[in-house]
Amino acid sequence: MLLVDDILFSPVKGINWIFKKIHELAEEELSGEADRIRDTLTELYMQLETGEITEEEFEQQETLLLDRLDALNEEDDLIGDEDDEDESI
């Protein structure tokens, strides 16, 4: 029976493996974008300190970047919740 079970469930296992790989790639992409936003924030702080941008410009750009970072964190939390559900199955 084990051979028959393996044959019957191999398509399901293959699809599950594909979805796990897609999930991993999505997490890597989100992580990479968050790192880029943090780097941009660091550059923004340096530009403010050196006087390259005004405080108003800094606040506008900082707000946009922090909002995007918060949105990414929320997306990451949602993906993490789905990942927890997958492990329990």
Summarize pLDDT for 7-48 with one digit per residue, the tens.
777 888 888 889 899 888 888 887 788 889 999 999 999 999
**Which single residue is written with the structure tokens 């970072």?**
69
* Sign, Cα dihedral of 75, 26, 87, 85: positive
Nearest to 58 by CA among 70, 39, 41, 72: 41
Between residues 67 and 83, the one the model is more confident about: 67
Domain boundaries, the chain: 32-89
Query: Are 27 and 79 in contact, with CB atoms under 8 Å apart?
Result: yes
